[in-house]
């Protein structure tokens, strides 16, 4: 990913959950290239370390932490460690999730518990961790992940859709609740974007088919999503609060 000419986030500590690969990794690289100090959190500590090392090799700053973001105690400890390592937090990006597509009758208690923990509970803990360790002297940012499935009834996505719809609602609540404290809360809804996390569920042929029904006639890229995240966290978006930015090529709009 080519480094932008700007340094909009120079010295700003930004914590990203589930950033050991995929969209989280891409956003971490993008924000680091613009001067941010990145906290990489992932349940797989090795992948978190690789991302942090890659950012360091590119001239950026990053710290790696292995933790289950569905655990409040673990997330709070990571935030405390990152604040110690990099300074009070300026933003948190709640990116962690577990993706499982299956018919409703096949959803098991174990699968649902795992998805709710990684994808929804982690958002609550991420917000609490940010509030406990934020830089009170500067505006704050919380960026959540929803999905087009929260707005369209796509079969076999019952658990995932429930989580992403919940995040959409929570984002609105938090925008009103935390706005008076100088914290903007927004969400993105990335559309069809091939990443390592989707390899076991969507084949290249299926992605090719998906592109035919996207108004822009292509799938998205990690760079598309990273650019949107960089904008929402920037001063250029300083009056945007409680928004859901569809980064989907027009999927939600076209129905």
Take residue 159 and report the two structure tokens written for it.
Answer: 């658990």
Average pLDDT, the chain: 94
pLDDT > 70? residue 30 = yes
Report how far residue 226's alpha carbon sits from residue 36's, in angstroms, rounded to the nearest whole number. 13
Closest by Cα among 174, 104, 170 to 141: 174
Closest by Cα among 170, 138, 190, 140 to 22: 190
Closest by Cα among 232, 125, 140, 144 to 181: 140
Architecture of domain 13-244: 3-Layer(aba) Sandwich (3.40)
Report how far residue 216's alpha carbon sits from residue 192's, in angstroms, rounded to the nearest whole number. 12
pLDDT by residue (tens digit) across 159-216? Answer: 999 999 999 999 999 999 999 999 999 999 999 888 877 777 788 898 899 999 999 9
Q: Which pLDDT value is given to residue 152?
A: 86
Domain ranges of the chain: 13-244
Q: Supply angle C-alpha 69, 207, 170, rounded to 5.
A: 35
pLDDT > 70? residue 4 = no
Q: List the catalytic residues.
A: 160
pLDDT by residue (tens digit) across 230-251? Answer: 999 999 999 999 999 999 999 9
Q: Do 252 and 239 meet the contact criterion of CB atoms below 8 Å apart?
A: no
Closest by Cα among 186, 179, 173, 246 to 216: 246
């Amino acid at each position: 990913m080519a480094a932008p000419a700007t340094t909009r986030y120079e010295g700003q500590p930004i914590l990203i959950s589930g950033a050991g690969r995929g969209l989280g990794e891409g956003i971490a690289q993008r924000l680091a290239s613009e001067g941010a100090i990145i906290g990489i959190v992932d349940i797989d500590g090795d992948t978190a370390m690789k991302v942090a090392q890659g950012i360091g090799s590119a001239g950026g700053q990053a710290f790696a932490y292995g933790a289950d973001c569905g655990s409040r105690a673990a997330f709070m400890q990571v935030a405390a460690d990152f604040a110690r390592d990099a300074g009070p937090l300026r933003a948190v990006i709640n990116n962690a999730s577990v993706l499982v597509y299956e018919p409703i009758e096949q959803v098991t208690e174990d699968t649902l518990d795992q998805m709710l923990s990684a994808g929804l509970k982690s958002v609550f803990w991420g917000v609490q961790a940010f509030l406990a360790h934020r830089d009170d002297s500067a505006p704050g940012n919380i960026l959540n992940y929803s999905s087009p499935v929260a707005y369209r009834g796509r079969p076999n996505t019952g658990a995932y859709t429930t989580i992403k719809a919940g995040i959409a609602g929570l984002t609105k609540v938090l925008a009103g609740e935390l706005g008076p404290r100088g914290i903007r809360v927004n969400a993105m809804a990335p559309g069809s974007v091939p990443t390592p996390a989707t390899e076991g569920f969507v084949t290249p042929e299926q992605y090719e088919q998906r592109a035919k029904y996207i108004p822009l006639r292509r799938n998205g890229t990690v760079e598309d999503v990273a650019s949107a995240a960089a904008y929402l966290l920037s001063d250029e978006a300083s009056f945007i609060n409680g928004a859901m930015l569809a980064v989907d090529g027009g999927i939600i709009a076209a129905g």
